Structure 1
Amino acid sequence: MSKERNITTLPLDGGALCFDFINTVHAWRGVNLHEYLGDYGSLVQWCAKVGILSTKQRKLLQQHAASHPGEAAKALEKIKQVRAVLYHCFAAVAAGRPQQLSETLLQQFNAAITKGLSHIRFAAKGTTLEQGWSHAPTDLLAPLWIVMKSAYDILAQEDSVRIKECPACGWIFLDQTKNNKRRWCNPVSCGSIEKSKKYYQKKKREMEGA
């Protein structure tokens, strides 16, 4: 992970939109050194980075947030709360222990999923029906609805054994390798750091035992 931490340098190692959303903190394990969604403007930047909402939609949200700072702060807080719920739910799935999730967490997760899917609409386009979204142009929670659709798709379509949590930072990712042996969110960053820690600990034990 880059020393200069902002949306521009934020890696997209999740393999799915909802996981990239969860991974908008420096770490879920250990010390969280940076919050990438520090303000609503950062969220709009993130939307542009991952390619959700049109340029016009993002501009309208940015303008509305700027002219209604209290509303924007409240919306961002809600979005972060749901992000935490998503992390805990998918971390439990990654650990193979979803049955240990509290009833409260499951209720919050299901409520967010239901709300997100309720905004989906289909419209005729040529000879088919095309999925779209129905929400007010200034709905500051609009990005969250798209994220929740991604979370639904992952649980409905992907093998749960491919949902993993990085043992170093806690980022959630979808293992898309053929052998399903991927361990780190990023082998260059977290993988190298963890290997260095193990090497240091091994050498320390050897010196203490000498």
Structure 2
Amino acid sequence: MVSRTPPRALPVVGGNLALDFANTVDNPWGPTRHDHLGDYDDLMAWSERAGTLATGSSRRRRPGEVLGRAHELRDVLNDVFGAAADRTGDVAERWPALRPFVVQAMAAAALDDEMRWSWSIRDDPAAMLHPVAVAAAELLTGTDLRLVKRCSGCPWLFVDRSRNHSRRWCDMADCGTVEKMQRYVSRRRERS
């Protein structure tokens, strides 16, 4: 019997809820691809961890439909903010794909006692996606959009809030270390 190594814990490196949601697939085009939102329980766990859903919320309503909607939202976020990061195409032209998620989120929104948006999973089984859609709309229309970058070692997206806006990797301990090791090995090979 072959034992599989469990996937790593998903790092949170995007600097924005929408980008963290977009970054929920490890090695998307490689042989070790892992979808951290592979099933409904994964989506619920991510939502609880990210704070878009209260711990212990109901898990019983239309899981397949909600999971499909989550994957669709993730694809849209990668398209919209990937274009912003790569400086390819008009980001505003991608708004129509994101708009239905934002409209649905705002139609279901309530204000809590602290005057913040809130959503109830009892009323809407996709409620955990709404804060992600609203965060995406705010990022799209805010000043941080110009700071969205793509990691130079993987396809993950992040907001570069470094002092001189020179951040290159999703995480220095992950892609940054891999790239530095590759440069070190290459330099050693050249010296030999």
Q: Does TM-score exceed 0.5, indicating one fold?
A: yes
Partner Cα separation in structure 2 for residue 27 and residue 173 of structure 1: 16
Residues 1:59 and 2:57 are matched in the alignment: yes
After TM superposition, list the pairs within 5 Å mapping 1:1-210 onto structure 2: 4-5=6-7, 9-28=9-28, 30-31=30-31, 33-55=33-55, 58-60=56-58, 62=59, 64-65=60-61, 71-99=62-90, 105-122=94-111, 125=113, 130-135=115-120, 137=122, 139-201=124-186, 206=190
Look up the equivalent residue of 2:122 and give its one-letter code: P
How many residues get paired? 188
Which is richer in helix? Answer: 1
CA displacement 1:153-198 (0-9 Å, x = unmatched): 1122233231111121111111121211111010111011122234
CA distance in 2, matches of 1:139, 1:88: 26
Distance 1:110 1:132 in 2: 18
Unaligned runs of 5+ in 2: none
Distance 1:160 1:74 in 2: 30
1:29 and 1:169 in contact (8 A); partners too: no
Q: Which has the larger radius of gyration?
A: 1
Q: Secondary structure at the match of 2:115?
A: strand
Greater alpha carbon shift after TM alignment, 129-138 vs 111-120: 129-138
Q: Which amino acid aligns with 2:21?
A: F
- Counterparts of 1:100 and 1:149, CA distance in 2: 17
Distance 1:193 1:113 in 2: 37
Q: Distance in 2 between matches of 1:194 and 1:31?
A: 19
Identity percentage of aligned residues: 28
- Report the TM-score, using the length of structure 1 for normalisation: 0.77
What amino acid is aligned across from residue 11 of structure 1 in structure 2?
Answer: P
**CA deviation digits over 1:33-84, x for unaligned, max 9?**
21111211111111121122223xx421x2x14xxxxx31222012111101
Q: Report the Cα offset of residue 16 of structure 1.
A: 1.1
* CA–CA separation in structure 2 for the residues paired with 1:131 and 1:191: 36
Residue deviations 1:89-130 (CA, integer Å, cap 9, x gap): 1011011224278x6x5422222222222222336x5xxx71
* Deviation of 1:141 (Å): 1.2
